[in-house]
Structure 1
């Protein structure tokens, strides 16, 4: 409750006055951050690259961020309208101890799915406000009012989960035109150069890949308190968050959706100029017991440096623990290999027996990424493989699974899948081009039988105790291709003209679903909107 009230106070404060300086957080989007590969993955910088979003002053990225955001500025242009349209914030105030900016963020698209004959559109009106006070305090907020008609696969997802993917609760109650709001806010305070304190309603991404098997930015925003320490070669993060579970049985209308806490720790260590290793642990706990008695926050987890799993075990193992590891090695000047391993449950006998126990709950990722492919400036790429065993991220009860507001906190496909994806990006002046290809194979749950795909089903009732394998259940093949081209109008708030061609196919013995979508739009935002699942 205290954290929720502080977040509401944050939202109020951040709508009053604001700006942009080196202390500020740069909102994370893959398409923008991949332009930083050359700087962040250079062995000379020894950057901490796996905790996102970045601080602008970290790892020499401020210079590049500033260059990116100021790209195309023509100091000879003196007229107000050309400056505001192509190079500047709508409102931009710069004082000695105070800076502030504000922008209107339109996001309008029209399109058509030629396989289903459905016309599609998105109508979003948004804003962003940011700023700093002095050299230790910064803040940012953005908000969007949205209406849209989505492709049929997204419409089914929204009707089932009651949430627009990664954004917010759908107010349409099953209608064809979806209606929702999306708000983010962040206050950042750096009392000393080694420590940053954040309070916000937003997301955190951990990893060097496009997906994360530890903590991703896929699910909706949640309120959090985050401490980040930077001690040279070591970066350490502790975060306490407050999440919701609309699927869990409500004890009364007055208590609203069931709530749960998430505690996350992550340490990133630059061992050498080329090698980085990371350790992650987390706990998910419900704020009420099964009888509806209020439990509140468990102060056993309040220490920012404690190992969470032993504490959870000493409490009688009432909660859901997840640990993980990350690694990154800069193989060549332009090429980096990276990986992750997430471990949801470990029982040595089952883990090493190789019998496909339902208690073997883990996933791994391996990938390569680089810049200036074939020595072509600004041609960046990523190739990644993700694999997650059945029943990973599930809990003894759904309320303590690894999810928030009906969506996974890690990979959008949940569990019981293999996925191979590749992304090729190229930038030339104000033009951006991107091609994404995804192939996945997974097993869907069949009716009442729990094959381990749906992380909202309890691991206590698997389809079988042994003999489990990735893809069990209704074997499904998934293909996805997205080709995007855009022209950047104003880099300060990512205003661009954009066109996309999306091809999607999902098939198994029961269904074949095809989508062939083309869209055009005037877009502006700093947020990831995932639809590749």
Structure 2
């Protein structure tokens, strides 16, 4: 919650973040694994800070790479989905999505991944779009991912696992689905079991796609230069004890408002607010709170009117594009603060906020398809945390924003290059953070109650067991089929994590036949 703060959510009360008729190019970049989004020529009506997962991306094959072979096998392997139908009033596609990898870890020996996936989707009429994916997986992971999975009972971004191969590997499955209905020029409605992302960078301090899928309903509107969305979502709390036998994990709800305004061809401003509340109170009678149903309401006064029991956050997203190919961007997230405590500089624990500052450029040095990104992210201790996990900014044992949680500063650098069907990508991530030590909560783990904080004053980023992380990865891939992102891929990852108590080094090499449009984050 906020103190002495007025929420600025809907400066324009009704406008919208819609699924634009222009394909969200940021979505294309991430779904093809290596590239970044390209700037839209219609910059006044194009909003880059929302990843749109409803659109099946297209990919421009290199000139001269034509259908010189017309056999069914050639078309299905290199050009088309396994099934494709297109009629005047409907379309359908479906493909098998393999993700088969073999590798070696310097600390764990042989590692592997065996994923069999299926994607299906299509359109009905001009306004209804559908998409569904399913993945069945078994995998033996690198040491640091295996440790994370056993500690948190999940595979990062992919849900809960069960033991496999005599306890050395994980067996897990998950699915996603999205229905999008476009109601005229100005409105879209989305019903999904998927992820969402707000921002122009690699990470998001507002809402990221690093955690597991969740059900949501999104009302989207688009009016000229302004886009606005309201989303209601349900999240899973794996930490809090079950309320009774057979009810499963406890649930919590979230409502999100985001307004994006293209002030000019070069400048856009996005305003964000969210409220997280537990599915039921101590009496077990609350459930979904109808107070948050109005899609254009200011959330903070509503949160206060119901007794201020919930977790309210606010923030903004900024973008400045000095040229068609270059963008400066930034974010700020405010969880809680008292103005006099900030100005005093005393490091009060409840001054909980974070931010992002970054730059990205396409066609660097006028080299086509050479792209770079450099980005700094940071969050003060105890940001995103709450009294209990039923109110914190997390889902399925992962943060809803940055995968490092809080009490960190991170520098991400990424470069990629595409030549015809060949992709090259390099990433260097350096982070410093403070881990909990001797059972004391120093503010990194957002699933710890802030009631267990170490101190009221003197809090700063990196407090606790001061730890540094250097993660360096290089990837080369050869694209076989752009329709479902089938590619041959090879990667090398070097990970170094250390502090005054221990040191963990791991070198990982992997090769494989990969497919799908999943965005999975293992760089933590």
Q: Normalising by the residue count of structure 2, what TM-score does the alignment of the two structures yield?
A: 0.92
- The within-5 A match list for 1:236-315 is 236-289=228-281, 291=282, 293-315=284-306
Q: Deviations over 1:158-209 (max 9, x none)?
A: 0011110001111228922101002000011012121100101000000000
- The within-5 A match list for 1:107-186 is 107-114=99-106, 116-172=107-163, 175-186=167-178
Q: Pairwise CA RMSD of aligned residues?
A: 2.1
Query: SS of 1:467's equivalent?
Result: coil
The answer (yes or no) to whether the contact 1:46–1:274 under 8 Å persists in 2 is no
The answer (yes or no) to whether the contact 1:486–1:497 under 8 Å persists in 2 is yes
- The within-5 A match list for 1:313-352 is 313-352=304-343
Larger mean CA deviation between 78-87 and 500-509 belongs to 78-87
Correspondence for 2:39? 39
Query: SS of 1:318's equivalent?
Result: coil
Give how far 1:29 is off: 6.1
Query: SS of 1:310's equivalent?
Result: helix
In 1: Cα distance, 2:307 partner to 2:343 partner: 25
- Counterpart of 2:98 (choices 98, 106, 121) is 106
Correspondence for 2:485? 494
In 1: Cα distance, 2:373 partner to 2:81 partner: 32
Give how far 1:46 is off: 4.8
Q: Deviations over 1:22-53 (max 9, x none)?
A: 7998966626387463333x575652000112
Correspondence for 2:355? 364
User: Quick one: structure 1 residues 190 and 71, their matched pair in 2 at CA, closer, same or farther if it must change by over 3 Å?
Assistant: farther
The answer (yes or no) to whether the contact 1:72–1:87 under 8 Å persists in 2 is no
The answer (yes or no) to whether the contact 2:54–2:130 under 8 Å persists in 1 is no
In 2: Cα distance, 1:132 partner to 1:22 partner: 14
In 1: Cα distance, 2:133 partner to 2:63 partner: 22
The answer (yes or no) to whether the contact 2:102–2:512 under 8 Å persists in 1 is yes
The answer (yes or no) to whether the contact 2:24–2:48 under 8 Å persists in 1 is no
The answer (yes or no) to whether the contact 2:387–2:449 under 8 Å persists in 1 is yes
Give how far 1:118 is off: 1.3
Correspondence for 2:7? none
User: Quick one: structure 1 residues 336 and 486, their matched pair in 2 at CA, closer, same or farther if it must change by over 3 Å?
Assistant: same
User: Quick one: structure 1 residues 482 and 310, their matched pair in 2 at CA, closer, same or farther if it must change by over 3 Å?
Assistant: same
The answer (yes or no) to whether the contact 1:73–1:87 under 8 Å persists in 2 is no
In 2: Cα distance, 1:311 partner to 1:392 partner: 22
Correspondence for 2:200? 208
Correspondence for 2:179? 187
The answer (yes or no) to whether the contact 2:179–2:190 under 8 Å persists in 1 is yes
In 1: Cα distance, 2:411 partner to 2:493 partner: 17
Q: How many residue pairs were aligned?
A: 503
User: Quick one: structure 1 residues 281 and 477, their matched pair in 2 at CA, closer, same or farther if it must change by over 3 Å?
Assistant: same
In 1: Cα distance, 2:202 partner to 2:147 partner: 25
Unaligned runs of 5+ in 2: 1-19
The answer (yes or no) to whether the contact 1:69–1:492 under 8 Å persists in 2 is no
User: Quick one: structure 1 residues 34 and 109, their matched pair in 2 at CA, closer, same or farther if it must change by over 3 Å?
Assistant: closer
- The within-5 A match list for 1:417-456 is 417-456=408-447
User: Quick one: structure 1 residues 524 and 444, their matched pair in 2 at CA, closer, same or farther if it must change by over 3 Å?
Assistant: same
Give how far 1:354 is off: 1.1
Query: SS of 2:46's equivalent?
Result: coil
The answer (yes or no) to whether the contact 1:390–1:451 under 8 Å persists in 2 is yes
Query: SS of 1:313's equivalent?
Result: helix
Correspondence for 1:15? none
In 1: Cα distance, 2:371 partner to 2:153 partner: 36
Higher percent of residues as helix: 1
Give how far 1:352 is off: 2.0
Correspondence for 1:532? 523
User: Quick one: structure 1 residues 346 and 453, their matched pair in 2 at CA, closer, same or farther if it must change by over 3 Å?
Assistant: same
- The within-5 A match list for 1:5-84 is 30=30, 32=32, 35=35, 37-40=37-40, 44=43, 46-53=45-52, 56=55, 65-68=57-60, 74-84=66-76
In 2: Cα distance, 1:237 partner to 1:432 partner: 34
Larger mean CA deviation between 322-331 and 47-56 belongs to 47-56
User: Quick one: structure 1 residues 55 and 254, their matched pair in 2 at CA, closer, same or farther if it must change by over 3 Å?
Assistant: closer
Give how far 1:333 is off: 3.2
